[in-house]
Structure 1
Amino acid sequence: MKDKTTAGLLAIFLGGLGVHRFYLGQAGLGFFHLIFCWFPVSWLIGFINGLIILTMDDDKFNLKYNPEHFKVIKKGGRREDREFRRDERRRPQEVQRRNTAPVRQPVNQDKQQMLKKSGIDKYKDYDYQGAIEEFKKALELDPNDISIHFNLACTYSLNEEADKAFEHLDRAITLGFTDFKRIKEHDALAYLRIQDAFDEFELNGFRLKQAVPQKQTQNKNQAVQEPAVEDHSPILDQLKKLDELRLKGLLTDEEFVTQKRKLMD
C-alpha cells in the first residue's frame, strides 16, 4: 500500500532519479527520470510532482495508486461516499460498530468502472501489462463491453501482441463497434496496421476469418467416388463484402476493381 507522504517526499528529494515513480509502481516513468537525471529539468519535474502529491486529496490519491484498498459505500440508494480502509487507525468502538452494521456491497458496474479507470491510468503511464490485467478483470464482469475490447486491442497492439489485438478488435466489431476510421488512424493500432494480416482483416470488414470444418464426402460403402462440384460461394461472399466496403466508403472504385480482379483471377 502506497503512502502519500512517503511518495511526496521521495519526489521532492529524489525525484530526479525517479524513485517516487518506482515507489508508485510506475516503472516506465521511473526509468525516464533515471535516464535524464543529469538534467536539472528532471529534478524540477520531480519536485513539482512531490508538491502535487502532497497537496492531493487522500481519496483521489488512494483511488489512483491504491485501488485495491478503495471501496464504495452507498447510503440510502442516493448518496455515494468513498472511504479508504484504515481499520488499524480507527478506535476499537468504531471498528466494532462497523463490523456489526450491515454494509451493502458495491454493484458490479461500480467495480467495473473502477477497474476500467485503473486500466486507463496505467495505460497513460505506459504500464501496458498492468493495463491489460485491469481491463481483463473488468471484462470478466461484462464480457460484452465494446470499449473494453477496443482498449484491449489498442493495449495489445502497443505491447506488440498482434494476435490478441486482432482477436479483441474482432470482438468489438462483432458487438457493434462501427468507427472504422478510428481503426485506420488510431496511433495505438499502428503496429497492427503494419502486419501482413491486416489487409485481409480490413477486406473482411475488420473481422477475423472463421475456420470452416472439413466435411467428409466419401462414403465408405461407395466403390466409385464422384467428382466434386467446384464451389464458388467463398468468392461470391468476398465480392459481396468488397461491394459493402465500397458502399461504406472504405474502398474507392479503383481499389474495388483491383481487388475484384484479384479474386476473379
Structure 2
Amino acid sequence: MKHKTIAAILAFTVGYIGVHRFYLGEVGKGIFYIFLLPIFILMGLWAIPFIVGFIDGAKFLSMSQEDFDKKYNGSPRSYQEYRGRGRKRSRRQPPRSRSFPTPAAHSSRAARAKVEQALKRGKALFKDYDFEGALEAFTEALEADPRNAAVHFNLACTYSLLEHKDKGFYHLDRAVALGLDDFELLKTRDHLAYLRVQDEWVQFAANGFRLAPQLTSPKQEEDLLNSQPIPEQNAQSDLLNQLQQLAQLKEKGLLTEEEFKVQKEKLLR
C-alpha cells in the first residue's frame, strides 16, 4: 500500500534523484532521474531536477485518493473501500474447509512409496551381487503391489541368476501380462540368459513370452509332465515341431545363433 503523502514528501526532499519514483514502483523513471542529474549539473542547470521533484510532489498532493490508488495501488477504488469490501465478503463466506486425503488414497500413496523404496533397495543389492538380499527386497515390493510389472521383471532376473527356472519363467510371464512389451529386452538382457537356454524358452518365446494357459505358476509344468508322460510314438513328432519352432524363432530374431545351437543340441540329445 503506497501513500500519496509519503510520495509527496519524498518528491519535495529527495525528488531530484528520483527516490519517490522508486517508492511508487517506477524503477525505470527513478533510474532516469539519477542519470539526468549529473548531466544537468555539468550544463549548469542544477536547479531543474529540484524543480521537477517539487512539481511531482505538488501533483501527488493535488490528486484525489481514488485517482492515486487507481494509478499506484492497482485498485479501481480507494484502499479503504477495498478493505471494507473484503471484510464484508469474509463475513458472508464461510471459511474453506481443508482437504485431507481419504484413508484409501493415503494408503495407495504409502503402498507406492513402499514399492519404490523396496525396488531401490533391491536394485542396489542386485548390483552388489547380493541376489538373496535383492530377492527379499523385491518380494517385499511384490507384497505391497502384486500387479507391478517392474517388480515381476526384477524377480525374474534374480531367479534366473539363482537358476530357479520355474519361478523365473513365472515372474517373466506376469511381467508381460501386466504390460511389459519390450521383447527386445527379454532377448538381450544378460540376467535372463539362464532362462533363454532352457528347453521351455522355445515355447515360451513362440507364445509371445507367455506361459501356456495351463502352466501359469511355478512347478506346475513339472507336475504336469510327471503325471502325463509323452507316449513314445509322439516323441518324434514333437521333436520335429520343436526344431521347426526353433528355426522360426531364429528367423524372426527371437533367438541368437548361439542360443539356437544350444537349444538344438539339447533337443537332439
TM range (shorter): 0.3 to 0.5
Greater fraction of residues in helix: 2
Structure with more of its chain in strand, by fraction: 1
Q: Which has the larger radius of gyration?
A: 2
* TM score, norm. by length of structure 1: 0.41
